Structure 1
Amino acid sequence: MGLLDGRVAVVTGAGSGIGRAAAEALAKEGAAVFATDIDPEGLEVTASNIAAAGGKVETKQQDVTDEALWDTVMEETEAKLGRPSILVNNAGIAIGGAIPDFSLEDWKTQMSVNVDSVFLGTRAAIRRMQEGGGSIINISSVAGLRGAPGLSAYCTSKGAVRLFTKAAAVECGRAGWPIRVNSVHPGIIDTPIWQKSITRLGEGMPILPDVPVGANALDADTLGAQASPMGRPGRPDEVADLIVYLASDKSSYINGQELVVDGAMTAGG
């Protein structure tokens, strides 16, 4: 018996990193997973991993900023797997750059992918979970808890996810809908986002306030060793384990909370 037997989960950004780890972990605990990503090749790997482990999975290429596509995703999930009771809003990007040089276009892109998509996904999930209940898990970041030079847009977007999550949790509770909404705030996790997304930070600006400027500033191992008291970056599966917990009845009274997974990175002064 798994913690999530009989549940149906939608996971965005499931083609790599935390999203893939979450999809695989949810499936391992018995959930049927509808995995989406803008990257079809990455999705194929995730689906193969889940299927090989005996899990149930369906996939769909999704641009999470496309409003109409969210209805399609939820409709296909219900038709193929059943009513979704878990949503992991994981898809996101990080665009770095100094504020004086940052373009409005990049700012809007950052907000669209990281904030608009969380709103669209949460709205679509709430519409389908009002009677049967569910758990919505929004992936934020430690950057949503404190500022970082060169990441003003990213910090803003992740801070918005944090407070939107709290507002959604209160709204669902006051409305009497049995839906919990929580945010997860990873620190430095060894995922492709460090190599592929944060590409515009110059050597003259540190990526985090407690990481010195250097040629290896975008390397997850270096960042983890310098920023975390544990001396290493986190692993995607360490975040996925928390996601499984929040999706399960083990966390039935945890709602509207921000849960940090950062190896004590934000615990010090």
Structure 2
Amino acid sequence: MIKLRLIALSVAGLFTIGIASWPLSQQPPKEVRALENVLKRLSRGNNLGKQPIAFMVASGNYAAHLAQQRGLCKPDECDMFTQLNPYKRYNNGWDELIRQDYAVGDIAAWTASTGTIVISRASFRAYGSRNDYLACAVAHELAHLKRNHIFKASYFSNHNLKGYSKEQKKLEEMKFSRKQELEADRDAATMLSRSGYAGRVCQQELEFMYSSIGNGFITVPESTHPGYEDRIKSMRNHYDALKKQPAKPQKDTRESYNYNKHDNLLTLTPLP
């Protein structure tokens, strides 16, 4: 999901500075460790670019919903609560928002144009041991980032929709957003295929996600995302195409990792 709206070790791990090598007392949260493991797998057979990519485990959308219910923010002005640090103690009532989000919130991830990918902590609870599903979600967001989708959406709106009425412009923007979501779905499936994940794992992840969030909606003109049937159909067709013509592996990404506890950011830095 775009808001405007993560890998085998190279040369026996010599080029990857991993969290696993940290002293036990300094280990980051389990979700961050799971995230790094997924990224190491995704770097196998995939070129993740040259720029550092930051990943943040955050509170999530349900925390923002609760904050709005409590009058802590106005509608459409609650983003801060979706991105609270779930590992920090606030002692002002926000801790309960974070606890409830983790307990009953669900799968959510989004990308910022600055190169930061955010994943709700509840996503890790929902996926459980299915790190392959987590890899699909992470690869989807990486696809948004690699394709520069946020900029392209803005460019499309400002250059291709001149003269449109406000209502027409909004519908065209949503149509373009749905196109980008399907594009990121296909890229994610291809990335996992290159990394050696077997089967139609990202199609299964989509089916799991929609079931988990309890939403079987259809595609509507006002939606940023395709409906359940259209999204599954697109992914099924892509896997059919991959079966006929498998994706060619790209050059492995050699990377280093750093987790900043204060900023709650895991940074993947590609190496030459």
Give 1 or 2 for the bigger CA radius of gyration: 2
Please identify which structure carries the higher helix content: 2
TM-score, normalised on structure 1?
Answer: 0.28
Instruction: Specify which structure has the bigger relative contact order, considering alpha-carbon pairs within 8 angstroms and separated by 6 or more residues.
Output: 2
